[in-house]
Amino acid sequence: MEMMLWNILLTGALALVSFFAKTLWSEVQRLSILLNRTREEVAKEYVTKAEVHADMNRVIDRLEALDAKLDRLMERP
């Protein structure tokens, strides 16, 4: 009788441990999927360094052109 009770307790403990392990594993999988989706969304919203440098160069070129025009305007009598 004592051995049967011990087997029942061990089986119950193993069932609980298995249930929690399965629950934790499914949560890790869910978080992994969410992390991958987040990475995809971040890539859509932000620009790369090359794009920023290209845009900044365009702005600087325009400002230099405006500066040259203002210099010519100031030189006129």
When divided into structural domains, the chain yields a total of 2
Confidence at residue 13, expressed as pLDDT on a 0 to 100 scale? 96
Per-residue model confidence as pLDDT tens digits over 29-45 = 999 999 999 888 877 77
Residues 40 and 5 in one domain: yes
Is the pTM here over 0.75, yes or no? no
Angle at 35 between CA 32 and CA 38, to 5 degrees: 155
Interval 41-61 mean pLDDT:
89
Residues 60 and 70 in one domain: yes
Residues 32 and 63 in one domain: no
pLDDT-wise least confident of 5-9, 33-37, 39-43, 63-67:
39-43
Confidence at residue 18, expressed as pLDDT on a 0 to 100 scale? 97
Residues 39 and 62 in one domain: no
Domain range for 77: 47-77
31-54: buried (b, 16+ CB within 10 Å) or exposed (e) per residue? eeeeeeeeeeeeeeeeeeeeeeee
Residues 42 and 15 in one domain: yes
Confidence at residue 47, expressed as pLDDT on a 0 to 100 scale? 84
Confidence at residue 39, expressed as pLDDT on a 0 to 100 scale? 85
